[in-house]
Amino acid sequence: MNSWEKCQKRFPNRTTLTEPEKGHLSIFFEDHFAATDQGQRFLFALFDNTVLWSAGPTHPWRYLDDNDTVSEGLLTARFLDTDYIDNLHPLRGTGQYQGKEVQCSVQRNCWTYLNNRTVHFRGTSTSESPESPTDDDTARVEQLLERAKTTITSAIQKLQTVSRPASPAVQASSLPTPPMSKGKAPAPIPPRTRTPVARVPTPKASTSCQPVQAPPPQPAAPQPPPGNPPPNPPAPAAMAQQNQPRILGTAPEPYDGSPDKAIAFWNTLANYYAINEAIYTTNAQKVSSALTHFKIGTPAGNWASDLMQTALAAQPPNYGTWDEFKEAFKKQFIPPASQMEAISKMHSNQMGSKDFATWFQEWSTEARRTQADETTKMWAFQRNLPPTLQQKLLMLSPQPTTLDALVEKAREFDKNWQIFGRPTGTPSRGHGSSQGNWRGNPNP
């Protein structure tokens, strides 16, 4: 088992890369996948039989065996004629040559213009300019010929599978190569092929090649027997109904007025109407519909019923705005004592020996209930971290200005310590023996 197979076995729950992550891959990477370890997402790639890893598009690539950074020179070593390329991208293999956009073709092992024509760095004739109309036509003809050749080969191979046993086998390698035009007049475009079950026209073969004999075409499908005429197209009203947006998500369970369920219910309710804003387009629609999620016969149901009665008594009915409804709900069902308890927990819930992800989930839940401002939350968050982690954050320059940025930095420092900072065998906070680093522990 080679190193890449060991890496794949080590992370059985592999996932595909997102579009931003795919932009972090080199065109010379032979294979890749993404995996999550302790809540952190990592990218892995195979490059010249060497396993590399990265923490994401904003992080460098590193060797899996010793965590050394992969140099840019190594990533660009396989590009040819780099002395002629300006603004070379070491991963995507793009750049400029004499002010024209060019790209590296791995299949053709050369540089090409965006019109798929080969770049000749030392050429001097006017035929080598990518803007020459004749050469642009030649490039198009070459591309069409190549595409036609691929289509014909694929069609013949499919026809072989459905041909009679006595039919001669058709080898893809026996296809004649269409002539390539090198002068001003472009080579004629070969006839287009149709679906594989139809007769496939082939280009004329040269005198040194035998013509390709394709199997006979399949018989045409029988015509359906006469019957009832096709149904009429749907009416405009039915079409309009089909074009209506669909309900997304699940509505919250009816609320009974319990204070300990108030915040969770409101978050679910607000999220439900946020993702369905294409259906509930006005304040009246949102509020009137939201009032139906309160359980009848409970204090919450009686409160909602009173709001409905007040709204319907106005002419026309007036349900107010969504923000007014939100404030009324908070005053009714989220008592100040609950908020004070959340403030106390936000300031006293220290991380200690807990895992960062577990602790932050608990802390952030209480922080959201406090309705405190950003600065207060940042101060309480940093105060509850271990002293060593606090020192790391204090050394940052510039300092994070938002809670999200501060949390991300703390998570990154803690993750780096979990992977690289602890000696093997040191107890992990809340997880037994150490995970070690990538090299020291092949079986995390």
Domain boundaries, the chain: 3-75, 82-131, 145-178+186-193, 259-334, 337-421
Q: CATH assignment of 337-421, given 1.10.1200, 1.10.3470, 3.40.50, 1.10.357?
A: 1.10.1200
Q: Is 373 exposed, middle or buried (0-12, 13-18, 19+ CB in 10 A)?
A: exposed
Neighbours of 12 (CB within 10 A): 7
Residue 435 contacts residue 42 (beta carbons within 8 Å): no
Q: Which residues are CB-neighbours of 355 under 8 A, at least 6 positions away?
A: 429, 430, 431
Residue 203 confidence (pLDDT): 46
> How many C-beta atoms surround the C-beta of residue 91 within 10 A?
17
Beta strand pairing status for 62-63 and 100-105? unpaired
Task: Give the pLDDT score at 238.
Answer: 53
What distance in Å separates the CA atoms of residue 362 and residue 413, rounded to the nearest whole number? Answer: 19
111 contacts 103 by C-beta, under 8 angstroms: yes
Q: What is the pLDDT of residue 230?
A: 56
Give the pTM: 0.32
DSSP secondary structure of 79-103: -S-GGG-BS--TTT-EEEETTEEEE
- For residue 255, the SS3 value is strand
Print pLDDT tens along the chain (444 aa): 888 888 888 888 888 889 898 989 998 888 999 998 878 899 999 988 899 999 999 999 999 888 899 988 888 888 888 888 888 888 888 999 888 899 998 888 888 998 888 888 875 443 344 555 555 666 676 777 777 777 887 777 777 665 545 444 444 444 444 444 444 444 444 444 444 444 444 444 444 444 434 344 444 545 555 656 655 655 555 555 566 788 898 999 999 988 878 888 999 999 999 999 999 999 999 999 999 999 999 999 999 999 999 999 999 999 999 999 999 998 888 766 667 888 888 899 899 888 888 899 888 888 887 878 999 999 999 899 999 888 889 999 999 999 999 999 999 988 888 887 665 554 444 444 334 333 333 333
Contact 322, 286 (CB under 8 A): yes
